[in-house]
Amino acid sequence: MTLLENLGSLTGTPWVYLIVGLSVVLDVFVPILPSGVLVIAAATTAAGTTTADTVGSVGVTATVHGGAHLAEMFSLVLCAATASVLGDMVAYRLAWRGGDRFDRAIGRSRRLTAAQKRLGAALTRGGGGIVVLARFAPAGRSVVSLGAGVAHRTVREFLPWSALAGLAWAAYSVSLGYFGGQWLGSSWVSTALSVFALFAAGSAAVFLMRRPDRHTAH
């Protein structure tokens, strides 16, 4: 509840967007940062506030409150998506310039090496959908962004998929928080259920990304 209370005090101010944006940008370098949880919590708090504010309201007043908070949801999506792309591109550029060092680091892990190879093949044949899936998978964003830089994939190949991935992830996360807040109010229960749904999407993304390996093995 402390997280919700803190975000609640910042709802409607630029600070909530700054906190969410920084968390999402840095998440590509420190995947353990709870950027998804923050996005969901911010949306849940705003939606819960909407519900409380509009209780007993009718007509024009309710419409104004709803429109204002829908605009706030849109702003959260835009903030999170933009920060996601910015973080991706910073990691991509750093890996591009320090290619050998990052390549050696990736080479120490079979999982990262396999992910890097899948990424290169997917982008080459236009199957950049793996970038979107990786955005939902745990640490997948880091592997994809760094791998694209190390492999010297072009910006034209990587950026559109990064933008689509960031938008899809942000819209999904904010939607979870918004509907959770609308149905259950600004509570830890609604946040917990929304975070569970986010992790479920991550598990599904990991499953889908591994399917080609199993087919290849057969």
pLDDT in tens, 76-111: 999 999 999 999 999 999 888 876 666 676 667 676
pLDDT in tens, 152-165: 888 988 999 999 99
Q: For residues 194 and 199, what is the distance between their CA atoms, to the nearest angstrom?
A: 9
Q: How confident is the model at residue 56 (pLDDT cuts 50, 70, 90)?
A: very low
> Which value, in Å, is the radius of gyration of the alpha carbons in the chain?
19
- Which pLDDT value is given to residue 76? 92
Q: What is the pTM of this model?
A: 0.77
Domains of the chain, by residue range, sit at: 2-217
Counting runs of H as helices and runs of E as strands, what totals does the chain give? 10, 0
**Nearest to 55, CA basis, from 68, 41, 65:** 65
- Which pLDDT value is given to residue 175? 93
Q: How confident is the model at residue 12 (pLDDT cuts 50, 70, 90)?
A: low
Query: Sign of the CA dihedral 190, 191, 196, 202?
Result: positive
